[in-house]
Amino acid sequence: MQSLQAKASEWSGVKQDDAFAIDDTNLFQKLGLQTFINLSTNFYTRVYDDEEEWFRSIFANSKKEDAIQNQYEFFVQRMGGPPLYSQRRGHPALIARHRPFPVTHRAAERWLHHMQQALDGSTDIDADSKVRMMNFFRHTAFFLVAGDELKSQNQQPQCKHGTSNQTPSKNS
């Protein structure tokens, strides 16, 4: 079975090395906390006002201010800052925490559309950081699409046999 990260690279068009080029520099030190808060606020303002109802509705049961805080705390932690996310919520566990949401290819592209707009609108983030961040976001979005597909893989055999068809593998 193709690994999650291989699917993410294939579908996103972003190679693993480019996706994690965020780690070659400390983006938190470079940009500062307020820049991340502004980015997530800008992003979710676009999402919650999205004219496309199918996408907006994905977030209907989440409070906007919670979504903003979850996102910027994760970004800060992942991009070289203090572990704000884990102090409050534990491990990011990105795929499991997105389990309630339908993370399709189309939803990933819509998410990325809004994030690209939010990044374009930011005057606090230099061009090089924008490229690194967008590669990370793009790869991660499709990593979550790959994770979303695990849900349907696991479910059907359970109905027939009452056992899982998952073969233990460290490559998944």
Q: Which residues bind a copy of itself (CB under 8 A)?
A: 3-5, 8, 16-17, 19-20, 23, 58-63, 66-67, 70, 82-83, 86-97, 99-101, 139-140, 143, 147, 150-151, 154-156, 158-159, 164, 166-170, 172
The minimum distance between CB 144 and a copy of itself, in angstroms, equals: 9
The minimum distance between CB 109 and a copy of itself, in angstroms, equals: 19
The minimum distance between CB 27 and a copy of itself, in angstroms, equals: 13
> How far is the CA of 18 from the CAs of 14, 29, 61, 139, in angstroms?
6, 20, 34, 9
The minimum distance between CB 141 and a copy of itself, in angstroms, equals: 11
Nearest CA to 115 among 17, 47, 59, 62? 47
> How far is the CA of 166 from the CAs of 6, 97, 155, in angstroms?
19, 21, 10
CB distance 133 to 27 below 8 Å: yes
Closer to a copy of itself by Cβ: residue 127 or 161: 161
Closer to a copy of itself by Cβ: residue 70 or 129: 70
Taking the C-alpha atoms of residue 42 and residue 21, their distance in angstroms, rounded to an integer, is 24
